[in-house]
Amino acid sequence: MNCSIPNELLEALRSARFVVALTGAGVSAESGIPTFREPMDGWWARFRPEDLATPEAFARDPATVTRWYEWRRQLCAKAKPNPAHRALVQLERRCRRVSLITQNVDRLHQAAGSQNVVELHGTLWEWRCVRCGQQREERQPLRDFPPLCSCGGLRRPAVVWFGEALPEAALARAYHDAAACDVFFAIGTSAVVWPAAELAHVARQHGARLVEINVRPTPLTSLADWVLTGRAGEVLPALVAALQPPDREQPF
Ligand code: APR
């Protein structure tokens, strides 16, 4: 698929003081990590969020919830950054200032080399004790479900569950960046989960141009200045390759 990138978008990026990229599960899909709402194989097609991704589910059945998250974490452990992640690293180098706000919990952006990442929904790579609050990175496979803290409390993944507040600092930074940017990308997100889905509206209300990269329409599509339909792993490399000013052609 040849992705032609509109010249107007390239010019907007070359002149932008500040670019924000909001990413969702669609960016990690090409690394083999299921998205949440794909009709057939999304996480929520096979399981019900209320059975696994809520504080009530954890209180009711901590073993099943932590076993499911550990299964997802092991899937993430095998996943590698894909061309979409790598192209976003290039975008950081080719625009004046880029903020990468992700809903993903797999840390593939950081593994690819992105520096300026805001994790809106936490991360699977850190687990927290619900009794003493001790939170630490967990890189080894878990054996006990639920895992126990040295204080005897139960440990849970440091991700945001449905009905929980997002990390305050991350959310404040996301709203600040959305309000301050000149170009806002919504990449691989269904834009149905708030408050992340509100960021694109905040950006537009503050005068930013909106770009959507997705394989199918979302509630943002009709609001976007540019809609680049296709896989993030194809569209983003084409975009950053085209962004290189003609006089500085470099292999991407
Ligand atoms: N390239 C681009 N977009 C893609 C690709 C791809 N290769 N594959 C799928 N998509 C798109 C889908 O069309 C969909 O719009 O990615 C989006 C994934 O949407 P969701 O599965 O809803 O994931 P996301 O938007 O990240 O969900 C937000 O909801 O369940 C919670 O906490 C969870 O962070 C998650 C949040």
Q: Contact 204/20 with Cβ under 8 angstroms?
A: no
Pick the closest to residue 176 from 203, 209, 150, 146 (CA basis).
203
Index of the ligand 1 atom closest to the CA of residue 30: 7
- Print pLDDT tens along the chain (252 aa): 457 999 999 999 999 999 999 999 999 999 999 999 988 788 888 888 889 999 999 999 999 999 999 999 999 999 999 999 999 999 999 999 999 999 999 999 999 999 999 999 999 999 999 999 999 999 999 999 999 999 999 999 999 999 999 999 999 999 999 999 999 999 999 999 999 999 999 999 999 999 999 999 999 999 999 999 999 999 999 999 999 754 444 444
Residues with CB under 6 A from ligand 1: 24-26, 29-30, 35-37, 42, 103, 121, 188-190, 193, 213-216, 218, 231-233
- Which pLDDT value is given to residue 39? 81
User: In the beta sheet, which residues pair with residue 227?
Assistant: 212
Please tell me the number of Cα atoms within 13 Å of 106 on its side-chain side: 30
User: Is 85 considered catalytic here?
Assistant: no
- Which pLDDT value is given to residue 245? 56
- Which pLDDT value is given to residue 2? 59
What is the layout of strands, in order, in the sheet containing 98-102? 117-119, 98-102, 19-23, 183-187, 209-214, 226-229
In CATH, which superfamily holds the domain spanning 7-33+80-121+166-248?
Answer: TPP-binding domain (3.40.50.1220)
pTM of the model: 0.95
Whole-number Å distance, alpha carbon 233 to ligand 1 midpoint, is 14
Q: Which CATH class is domain 42-78+129-159?
A: alpha beta
Catalytic residue among 121, 176, 201, 206: 121
Report domain extents, the chain: 7-33+80-121+166-248, 42-78+129-159
